[in-house]
Amino acid sequence: MRSGASTRIIAHRGVSAVEAENTMRAFHTAASHGADMVEADIHLSSDGHPVVHHDSSLLHGDDEVPLASLDRDTLTGLQPETSIPTLHELLSWAQDKVSVYLDLKAPGAGTAAMSLVKTFDMTNQVIAGSFDPNLIAESRDALPEVETSILVGLPQPGEMLELANDIGTDYAHPCWENAHSTPSHLLGGDFLEDARRSGVGIVTWQEDRPSELDALLALGVDAICTNEPDRLYALREACY
């Protein structure tokens, strides 16, 4: 079994517990709070630039406006206080600070994102993840060396591992924060050893409950997503 000391801390959309999510301020704070990686959601602007935002649309007044209908300059200038970053801006800042876990959301985002990863020579600092196997394939086609992760909502560990093996990803990422009152129990038994024997690492859902963070560290999962990286950092340092 792996030690929790080697479990990586992924700041979910930056430090989204205290800052506006997916903003440069949230990512800066994550780095200062002990995160090993920052997680960022990636869409494309109408002119093909990868931008960092979770939803596929924005509220503009009373209207929802699709992100893909707005160009980069419009998107980055919409909210001066919590500006939507470009992936270029994020990677430029992260290059000598933290690794980056990308949650690819839109067709074409994998190709465009990997082009930037290659430009910044950050292949070893990036994991390309998605719920969509097509976006994972797209990322690998553009940058074969990049590590990949399949995000899943499947409640059955065996099915998740089979899916990861079929797609050929480096990691499986169960989004199970609401699947069970103590979702760490879903990873018990021989599952983690089976995953490691098959070469699949496990990145877990966003988790902030101290008891669950302790349990996941004890299991020795490869990485934990959290809105409060400082809390997880303190637990990891205290126990391992």
What is the pLDDT at residue 3? Answer: 67
pLDDT (tens place) for every residue of the chain, 240 residues total: 466 889 999 999 999 899 999 999 999 999 999 999 999 999 999 999 999 999 988 876 678 889 899 899 988 887 766 789 999 999 999 999 999 999 999 999 999 999 999 999 999 999 999 999 999 999 999 999 999 999 998 768 888 999 999 999 999 999 998 888 899 998 988 899 999 999 999 999 999 999 999 999 999 999 999 999 999 999 999 976
- How many whole angstroms separate alpha carbon 134 and alpha carbon 148? 12
Gap between the Cα atoms of 209 and 63, Å rounded: 36
- Report DSSP state, residue 86: B
pLDDT of residue 152: 95
pTM of the entire predicted model? 0.95
Q: Which pLDDT does position 225 carry in this prediction?
A: 98
Domains and CATH numbers, the chain: 4-239 (3.20.20.190)
First to last CA, the chain: 14
Res 56: pLDDT = 87
Size (the chain), residues: 240
If we measure between CA atoms, which residue out of 169, 125, 117 comes closest to residue 143? 117
Beta bridge partners of 57: 66
Alpha-carbon 211 to chain mean position: 22
Structure tokens at 182: 């103590």
Q: Residue 190 and residue 175: Cα distance in Å, rounded? A: 20
Coil, helix or strand at residue 171 = strand
Question: pLDDT value at position 80?
Answer: 64
State phi, psi for 7 to the nearest 5 degrees: -70, 125
CB atoms within 10 A of CB 59: 9
Between CA 222 and CA 39 the distance in angstroms is: 15
What are all long-range contacts of 160-163, with beta carbons under 8 Å and residues at least 24 apart?
161/191, 161/194, 161/195, 161/198, 161/200
3-state secondary structure at position 11: strand
Sign of CA dihedral 49, 51, 56, 61: negative
Neighbouring C-beta atoms of residue 73, cutoff 10 Å: 12
Q: What is the DSSP letter of 199?
A: T
